[in-house]
Structure 1
């Protein structure tokens, strides 16, 4: 028995030899992500009475493969679910303990694990990680079957730590974690403002002004080598200021010489929130039994983020009530047309702030890095900017910037190489044949985006940065493969609600930065790691040299 497993069993003994489980004796907790998936409900009353740890069985030595139920009937030529290949693991926990071995796979590199597993097992494989069972698909044509079969209320894997926190605090599950009709009600309201191009484009002018101010700030915060120390922090400030023009229709003061304490606190807690969330998502959910150290950290950051977000919303609502000149079309729309109360409105606003700032910051960091590492592509983008500016009479509007094809291609190619969301997924509503196997209703199925984006059979020279592949004048690409670029934002009715805003913000900022600066990078290569989203593994020290 490994040292790790022995230590875990000692922890079980310590738990059951004390009264630490007694407060939970009347509760029944399921470790299954969904009620309709096969899993064991753990009765803590029985566990305490028997002086056993409810997770003990997951720690005992076992050499067999994870059990999977046979499907009663399969179409002719289609293999049963139990035949789907995949790595072997232990009962209940599957391959979870492999991720704690020194030379084993790592949660921080889960995108590489999926890529390697797909190379070993083919276009589809099954894996169990603790209480989470999943089917991973690495063929765009096969995953398209799931997309085409999607119903009105698509369900994806909830972020259990967030759901647990919100329920403990007496909140609704919110737009990101809710499922079914509860999700559909909120989504239907919010999408009318956030996914309509005309609505988002109406804020392009204000977001363009924020981008101008950010470029000016970059010029002042450069050091003697023209590098920007703590570039991620500066990008956080820009992203927060930019989304603020949409949510509150006012400037938050993030880009001043001395950013407000609220801004600094929000940025610090947002970084801590996502770093704590990553391990909580994949480890055994002990935090549901008692508040673990990591969960307490996550809880503290969450409390602070909601406190700041609620404060911003309440301040804006008070201003709108007392001052007819103060307005926020988005917040007013949620309250009036969306029939949301103040707490629901604040919850949506906080979700938009946290999601938008982290996503846009990470994506823009990768864009700047790839441009700095690829001077040919950077020069081509600069030429497009200069030509468009000349045609516009010397001044580009935000609307014109949003239509520049090479700028868009740079963003698409960056997110192919470094997909901030390395996978997209669904719980399927009905039995579905995928890659020759019958996958039962209720199964979790995810697209191995990173693996597909880096597959030489799908993309020519996948490790090279080639924005031209996304241009209409570029090499012809299979339409299904080309549509993969959209999946980094999700798909269907659960596509990222802030996608339109994020793309507009990035197009504006990148255009203005490249117009003003020549970018270069003179340090060791940056590698991607997961902090819930894909982020650089070290500070990205880009040199911003003003153009003559």
Structure 2
């Protein structure tokens, strides 16, 4: 019995994704969103598979499975089964949904302490680093106890805005770095690593109240090995998102890499702790939270630092790719930037109010999702697409990666058209935010967005951005990541 259990955990899926005849009949007979007379769970369409292993072979190299392109398998499932389907993954059923109506109902049904399924890969990473489990894996009152002090610090826009001037200075330094490091093709070798260093410096402004100084002496590529830990951590979490053995192939050398990153971060933290400049900083706030243990405070600080590096750097790379492929949008954004006064261009409040920049940001997330799927669990039954889903079932909302090209939602879906997001009511729930939704959304999302906007302003003020390599898509490594190296050509505008 134990070996059979292990087989289910290792093998998940099947090449055959035909929905059963019984399920297709059920789909046709029920109104899409009948919440008053829902059909039972067993009527939800599901892909058919082989005896015993069910759909397991779809999740193996035998069928060409690539964990970074898991969203493509979701799309195939939806195309065959419909807008909602269930699939037995391991020993448990998951439900996948993608309509804007289900998306709205899913996230409006959350309480103040939403449930999300645990990620064993995250727990393993924290253990390697010598820390307790992450906030993201916690539930109920434990999650709320850890998350509440973070929210008080990070989710006040006035707090975010007060750092905008200093963060703009970091962006100017990044532009100087880019000018120095451009090669004969006007591209920047190791630009992915440079974006990580930039993101760390931006995080340093609000965490330490000062710059660390990694961009000043052309050291971005020299510290790349240190930031390798955050990249490998992201890849490991992505590979372990649905369980199975894939993440274990990434494990050799991972602990050493993580500890190198941790020690580097703690060295900087300890250096900053001795300075008067940390007064009123996020570092001081976190280290003084009395409801957390010393280990929890340090673990939280590592989450903020490592999360800030990867999420912000990867999202900026996606935005730059969308700009590089659409020169007319660059021109429109430059016009919006030029309309800002010298005082406004350093004002967090003014930058946050840039309508076209915000629309472009959302359109970039639609075309190349920053987040491909959002999981939830409920302690009560919920009705989606006319089916009753029992409490405790993991529900994965896939609207970002399986409905982002739906012509019923988006006219000319393959075109980059930021204007489609200027009507906020019309566009509601047609995608979800790249930083998550509701109480479980990324607590650093306001900081990340401000940092990206500030960097885009400086880049567009100084450069025309082009891309002359293989087309890119967004792949899954915990968050959305460009499938190609961010090799952009930066052409100076002012000589």
Name 2:311's counterpart in structure 1: 359
Closer, same or farther: CA 160–412 of 1 in aligned 2, 3 Å: same
Kindly state the Cα deviation for residue 517 of structure 1 after the two structures are TM-superposed.
0.4
Provide the secondary structure at the position in 1 that maps to 2:489.
strand
Partner in structure 2 of residue 498 of structure 1: 444
CA distance in 2 between counterparts of 1:378 and 1:61 reads 44
Secondary structure at 1:543 match in 2: strand
State the partner residue of 2:22.
Answer: none
1:309 aligns with 2:260: no
What is the match of residue 345 of structure 2?
Answer: 396
After superposition, give the CA deviation of every residue in 1:29-83 in whole Å (9 maximum; x if it has no partner).
xxxxxxxxxxxxx7xxxx6xxxx676257789999999xxxxxxx9873211111
**Counterpart Cα distance in 2 of 1:498 and 1:395:** 23
* Residue 425 of structure 1, CA deviation: 1.7
Q: Is the 8 A contact 2:11 2:90 kept in 1?
A: no
Tell me the distance in 2 between the aligned counterparts of 1:384 and 1:347.
Answer: 40
Alpha-carbon deviations, 1:439-476, whole Å to 9, x = none? 0000111211211222111111111100111124xxxx
Q: Contact conserved, 1:313 with 1:346, CA < 8 A, in 2?
A: no
Quote the Cα distance in structure 2 between the aligned partners of 1:75 and 1:246.
46
For structure 1, the residue ranges without an aligned partner over 5 or more in a row are 1-41, 67-73
CA distance in 1, matches of 2:265, 2:308: 13
Measured in 2, the distance between the counterparts of 1:203 and 1:220 equals: 26
User: Does the 8 Å CA contact 1:87/1:95 hold for their aligned counterparts?
Assistant: yes
Change (3 A) 1:203 1:94: farther
Unaligned 5+ segments in structure 2 are 20-33
1:487 equivalenced with 2:433 (yes/no): yes
Return closer, same or farther for 1:325/1:228 CA change in 2, 3 Å cut-off: closer
1:248 corresponds in structure 2 to 208
State the distance in 1 between where 2:10 and 2:173 align.
55
| 1:71 equivalent in structure 2 | none
Which shows bigger deviation, 271-280 or 236-245? 271-280
Displacement, 1:156?
0.9
Q: Does 1:469 align with 2:415?
A: no
Q: Secondary structure at the match of 2:88?
A: strand
Provide closer, same or farther for how the CA distance between residues 148 and 283 of structure 1 changes in structure 2, counting only shifts above 3 A: closer
- Decide whether aligned partners of structure 1 residues 60 and 156 sit closer, same or farther in structure 2, where only a CA change above 3 A counts: closer
TM-score when scaled to structure 2? 0.88
Determine the structure 2 residue equivalent to 1:415.
365
CA contact (8 A) 1:309 1:349 kept: no
* Distance in 2 of aligned mates of 1:171 and 1:60: 30
1:144-175 Cα deviation digits (max 9, x unpaired): 22222212321112221111343576632222
CA contact (8 A) 1:136 1:446 kept: yes
TM-score, normalised by the number of residues in structure 1: 0.80
Report the 3-state secondary structure (helix = DSSP H, G, I; strand = E; otherwise coil) of the residue aligned with 2:267.
helix
1:111-510 matched pairs, under 5 angstroms: 111-131=71-91, 133-167=93-127, 171-259=131-219, 263-284=223-244, 292-317=248-273, 319-320=274-275, 324=276, 326-388=278-340, 392=341, 396-399=345-348, 400-448=350-398, 449-472=400-423, 479=426, 481-510=427-456
Please give the alpha-carbon distance, in whole angstroms, between the structure 1 residues aligned to 2:138 and 2:79.
Answer: 34
Structure 2 CA distance for partners of 1:97 and 1:167, relative to 1, 3 Å: same
Structure 1 residues 224 and 146, CA gap change in structure 2 (3 angstroms) = same
In the TM superposition, residue 302 of structure 1 has moved relative to its aligned partner by 3.0
Distance in 1, matches of 2:323 and 2:129, equals 43
Q: Which has the higher contact order (CA 8 A, sep 6+)?
A: 2
Rounded to whole Å, the distance in 2 between the matches of 1:463 and 1:493 is 31
SS at the partner of 1:535?
strand
Structure 1 residue 265, shift from structure 2 partner: 3.3
**Count of equivalent residues:** 477
- Asked if the contact 1:108–1:531 (Cα under 8 Å) also holds between the matched residues in 2, the reply is yes
My pick for the range that moved more, 231-240 or 93-102, is: 93-102
| Contact kept in structure 1, 2:240 and 2:246, CA below 8 Å | no
Corresponding residue to 1:88 among 39, 44, 48: 48
| Distance (whole Å) between structure 1 residues aligned to residue 92 and residue 191 of structure 2 | 36
Gap change, CA 1:497 and 1:60, over 3 Å in 2: closer
